[in-house]
Amino acid sequence: MAKFVFQKEQMPHYSQVINACGITAALMAVQPNIDVQAQRLLEKIVYKARVMYGDLDGMLEPENSRHQVAAAYLLLKCALSPGVHEILASYDPENYEFVQGILEYELKSRMAGKSEKYGKSLDKMVKAYLKKGEKWDIDKVFLYEYTTRIKTDVELKLLMALFGYKFVRFPYSADGTGSINFDTIEQVISSNVIKDDQLNTYDEIFEFMITFIEVNFDKSVTIINTGAHWVTAQQLILQDEKRVPELYYLDPTSSPKPIRLNDWKRNIWFYFFQPDEQLRDRMKPVIEKVVDVKF
C-alpha cells in the first residue's frame, strides 16, 4: 500500500482581520516567512504606511494585520497601473486581459455608501481613485475599508501575480474562473467544452479533476474558496486504495492546526498558482516604481 504526502511544511498561519480571508489565504500561500523578497516588499510597504497613516488603529503593529494592510495597499496601487496590466496582458492574456475592468466594477459595487467606522463617503474616494489610479495618495479610510472587505478571485489572481505566481488555469472550467469545482461537472458535460472522447461521463471528468489537483499540488500553491471564505491548502495525502486524496488546509479564522477537507462536492473552488521567476523579475521594477519602494 503506497502512501505519498505532499506538504507545505513551512507555511505560516495568518489570523485574518475582519473579511480579509482572501488576503490572508494569499499570504499563507506566498509564505513571506521563507520568501525573502516577499517579506521585504511587505515590510517596506508597512514602513511607508506608518509614515502616511500612523498605526491605522493598531493594524500596522502585529505582523498578521500589518502584512494584510500592506497586501491591500499593494493591490490598490497596482490594480489600475498601466505598467502592471501591460505586463500581465502580454504575459498571459487569457488569465489577465480583463482584470482591470473587473476590478473597477468590483470597487464601485463594494466600496459604496459611507464608511461605517469613519462616516466618510466611499463613493467620493472611489471616484478619486478611479480618476487618478496609481498616482492617487490612498486615503486612510479607503485603505482600511478595502482591507476589511472580502476579495474576489480576480483580485487574488492579481495579488499572486504581484508576488510572482502565475495562475494555472483548469482547462475545463465551466464558470470562467479557471478553477476546479466538482459541482460544475454536469455543467461541463452540457457545455460541450470538452472534445476529448475519453471525458464523456461524470466519473471520467471527476477523475480528471482529481488528477489535475494531484499533479499540480506539489509544484503549485492552492487557494480554496469555500463559498464565502478563502483558505489555503497545506497538505495532500495520496493512498493507493483511496479514490479521493486527503486534503488539509489552513483557515485564517481558526487555530494554526490544519483542517481536513471532508466534502469535495459542495461548492468549493480550487485555484492553483505556480511560482514563476520570469514573471517575478518582470514585476519587480514596475512594483518598485508604482509603490515607490525598493525591495
Residue spans of the domains in the chain: they are: 3-291
The pLDDT value recorded for residue 1 is 62
Q: What is the mean pLDDT of residues 248-273?
A: 94
- Percent of the chain scored above 70 by pLDDT? 100
The pLDDT value recorded for residue 208 is 94
The pLDDT value recorded for residue 174 is 86
Dist. CA 159–CA 228, nearest whole Å: 19
Mean pLDDT of the chain: 94
Judge contact between 177 and 94, C-beta under 8 A. Answer: no
Query: Given a cut of 80, is residue 198 above it in pLDDT?
Result: no
The pLDDT value recorded for residue 230 is 98
199-236 pLDDT per residue, tens: 888 999 999 999 999 999 999 999 999 998 999 999 99
Q: What is the dihedral of CA 279, 285, 289, 295, to 10 degrees?
A: 100
Q: What is the mean pLDDT of residues 102-108?
A: 88
133-156 pLDDT per residue, tens: 999 999 999 999 999 999 999 999
The pLDDT value recorded for residue 97 is 78
- Percent of the chain scored above 90 by pLDDT? 81
Kindly give the residue spans of alpha helices, DSSP state H, lying in 148-234.
Answer: 153-162, 185-191, 202-217
Predicted TM-score (pTM) of the model is: 0.95
**What single letter denotes the amino acid at residue 268?**
I
Confidence tier at 189 by pLDDT (50, 70, 90): confident
Judge contact between 122 and 139, C-beta under 8 A. Answer: no
49-104 pLDDT per residue, tens: 999 999 998 999 999 999 999 999 999 999 999 999 999 999 888 888 788 888 88
Per-residue burial over 231-261, b = 16 or more CB atoms within 10 Å of its CB, e = otherwise: bbbbbbebeeeeeebebebbbbeeeeebeeb
Q: Which residue has the higher pLDDT, 159 or 241?
A: 159
Q: Which residue has the higher pLDDT, 254 or 240?
A: 254
